[in-house]
Amino acid sequence: MSALKRLFSEGFRVFFLAAGLFAVLGMTIWSGWLGWQFAGGGGALPLGPAPQLWHAHEMIFGYGAAALGGFFLTAVPNWTGARAAPHLFITGVALIWLAGRIAMAAAGVLPPLLVAVLDLAFVPVLAAKILTQLLHRPKPQQMVFLLTLTLFWAADLACHLEWLGLAETGWAGLRAGLAVLAAMIIILGGRVTPGFTRNAMVQSGRESRLPWNPPALALLAGGAAVAVSVALLAGLPDWVAGGLAVLAGVVGLIRLAFWRGGWTAGKPILWALHLGYGLTALGLALTGLAWAGVGSELAGLHLLGIGGAGGMTLAIMSRATLGHTGRALVAPRPVVVAYGLIPLAAALRVLGAVLPDLHDVTVLLAGGIWVLAFGLYLLALWPVFLAPRLARGGAA
């Protein structure tokens, strides 16, 4: 099999590579434009939406959608025993994702309706394939992801309705889209983080003081997190969404305390999951407080987006890529550095949000560190995306 065909043979290969490339390209464009503006340059990016809206949209519905696509196309067949998507489907849906990114970049010259159609096409196609696989062995705890994908698509639709001049729902759509990503992390991360940690502990010979993951707390955190996006899309008062976000975040942090994160200190492939989950929960709590009138919304959203969604997706993508290609579950050194850079980028961006005098420098530093982190991810794993599966290795 050629390297190109292999790239499209499994969902994680093309989409986790695409996510990394887009993380670098999208942030480079945004940071470059900001730097030019801060230096006194004029002009705007040739985009349909305002530059800051394009940046937020593409990080959520461009990068985020690629990460979701790679995860679901890889994980769902493992969950259900269904046949994995063939390479022609993976190629087609990857091209649909790419068409959406091109359309958003060219939104300044394309008809808004065409941009909306191209950008909104990816999630329904992905969800339809996932549905056929989930029906092979349906379980309620897995079928819920069709709901989250529907909410994710609805959030994107809300953005385009404003750009089409049909509603004033753009900001609600961006907030809801990020909230859906956070909800998926609370639900999925809340399963795999303690599960992978428990497996590693047992393999090391430990039989006591294993991670504890009470189902009641999982249901409360996940339900509240999903309800955040519903409240935002329904146009409910900010304090309603804020209260739900605080509840999801606080319960998420309580859950995290039971997962024996300290044991993972020397195992980056594990502590990155704990860190990403923790920053997601903390980001939800801080954002919820801001919606209720306490603190900075900009700080909370960027902690949630960079540290939470960025950190957790980086951890999951790198682990799954190693495991599903038969490699040992040991993060390469550049990826370990990337794990540490993402929370640093988040901290700098939060600092810039709460200290306006430091805004310009911290925003540019955060963007540069994000680009460096994903550049290291690509450097370490690019050959793995194209290489054959090894006969032995750790399971993802």
- Domain membership of residue 396 (yes or no) is no
CA atoms of 11 and 153, how far apart (whole Å): 20
Q: Which domain range does residue 104 map to?
A: 3-386
CA atoms of 10 and 73, how far apart (whole Å): 8
- Domain membership of residue 350 (yes or no) is yes
> What's the pLDDT tens digit per position in 128-149?
999 999 988 888 888 899 999 9
Total residues found in the chain within this entry: 396
Position 46 scores a pLDDT of 67
Residue 50 C-beta-side C-alpha neighbours within 13 Å:
5
CA atoms of 94 and 211, how far apart (whole Å): 37
Q: By C-alpha distance, which of 271, 253, 165, 242 is closest to 217?
A: 253
- Domain membership of residue 346 (yes or no) is yes
Position 31 scores a pLDDT of 93
- State the alpha helices, DSSP H only, in the chain: 3-7, 11-38, 51-57, 64-80, 87-105, 112-120, 122-134, 140-163, 170-184, 190-203, 215-233, 238-257, 268-291, 297-302, 311-324, 333-354, 359-386
Ranges under pLDDT 50 in the chain: 393-396
Residue 391 DSSP label: S
- Domain membership of residue 166 (yes or no) is yes
Position 392 scores a pLDDT of 60
Left if phi > 0, otherwise alpha if psi is -120 to 50, otherwise beta: which for 270?
Answer: alpha
Instruction: Tally Cβ neighbours within 10 Å of residue 128.
Output: 11
- Domain membership of residue 395 (yes or no) is no
Position 389 scores a pLDDT of 92
> What's the pLDDT tens digit per position in 108-126?
899 999 999 999 999 999 9
Q: Residue 173: which CATH number? A: 1.20.210.10
- Domain membership of residue 392 (yes or no) is no
CA atoms of 358 and 298, how far apart (whole Å): 14
- Domain membership of residue 49 (yes or no) is yes
Report how far Cα 160 is from the mean position of its chain's Cα atoms: 20
Amino acid at 49: P
> What's the pLDDT tens digit per position in 3-34?
889 999 999 999 999 999 999 999 999 999 89
User: How many domains does the structure of the chain reveal?
Assistant: 1
Per-residue CA distances from 103 to 33, 114, 117, 124, 363 (Å)? 19, 8, 9, 17, 26
Position 14 scores a pLDDT of 97
CA atoms of 274 and 10, how far apart (whole Å): 27
- Domain membership of residue 334 (yes or no) is yes
